[in-house]
A = this chain, B = another copy of it.
């Protein structure tokens, strides 16, 4: 009839639509939907009912413009492919945790590590998300620094060395290394080697330190295979082959990356090594592929899906303003012994 009716007739259900239907004002409806306690119960019921019946969903742009709240969680996706299926599981985990909330997930794929500061800068400047999840955290991670400085909500998959605490969820790498070493010791190994990649992450340091400590404690000869960082799978495979035929090779290997494990095992087997007899190997497992491939090999599992969920829950609580010291957690490694 008049303009108002026309407006509501064409399509979307807004606060105005509900206002018209209930005969209340826009303000009242808005207030009511947000749980205004000064409102009469009758009014609140009426509004709630109408909103439900009409299938009202608040317009994200309206809310965002008015309040600045984006209702978006951003995942900065590292390009690393050490952990097979990492991205998918992480995203699924976040998705599961987000389900039923107002939040959406936006993913920002990263191509080079040194761009990551730009990415964060952009998010900070343009308030394009309410919170950020980062992975592959470094001891003095520039992204963490930036977001702490800006007092911007984030959570990192991985710890840092910063004095000021920040929310994180991390795999307990130290326990991983310790468990692995002890397992190898229990199998009678004398000389163990740690094969580990990306030396820029905090994770790297945690593992190496715990590994050396555990090896010493168990009276084993412990070495770290350095310089595997930029290796292609083919090169890594070659390295496994070399290792197989080398004198005085270790009798126990711990590998922290699935990608490297595959290549390494390929090389070792090509070199005639029978894993589980002459040489023990334990790898960090995230994907379900390797257990299929090497059903006889021991592994220690990180549940990336669960990590995604936990990271998200921590982040959302941080966004709600919860104390940071309550927002730190570690995931226990899950031993998957095969014998």
List residues 75-128 of chain A with CB under 8 A from any CB of chain B.
77, 79, 81, 84-88, 91-92, 94-96, 104-109, 111, 125-128
Which of chain B's residues has its CB closest to A234's CB? Answer: B292
Q: Which stretch of A18-26, A54-62, A163-171, A272-280 is in the interface?
A: A54-62
Q: Which stretch of A140-148, A200-208, A212-220, A259-267 is in the interface?
A: A259-267
User: How many copies make up the complex?
Assistant: 2
Asked whether B88 lies within 8 Å of A57 as measured between CB atoms, the reply is: no
The residues of B that contact A60 with a CB separation of less than 8 Å are 64, 126, 128
Asked whether A104 lies within 8 Å of B106 as measured between CB atoms, the reply is: yes
The residues of B that contact A111 with a CB separation of less than 8 Å are 92, 95-96
* Residue among A62, A64, A70, A94 with the highest chain B CB neighbour number at 10 A: A64
A193–B339 Cα distance when bound, in Å, is 35
The residues of B that contact A126 with a CB separation of less than 8 Å are 57, 60
Among the listed B88, B104, B127, which residue makes an inter-chain contact with A87, where contact means beta carbons less than 8 Å apart? Answer: B88
The residues of B that contact A94 with a CB separation of less than 8 Å are 109
Asked whether B293 lies within 8 Å of A266 as measured between CB atoms, the reply is: yes
Asked whether A259 lies within 8 Å of B77 as measured between CB atoms, the reply is: no
Closest 3 A/B residue pairs (Cβ): A95-B109, A233-B292, A87-B88
Interface residues, chain A, with chain B CB atoms under 8 Å away: 12, 55, 57, 59-62, 64-65, 70, 72, 77, 79, 81, 84-88, 91-92, 94-96, 104-109, 111, 125-128, 233-234, 236-237, 259, 262-263, 266, 288-289, 291-293, 295
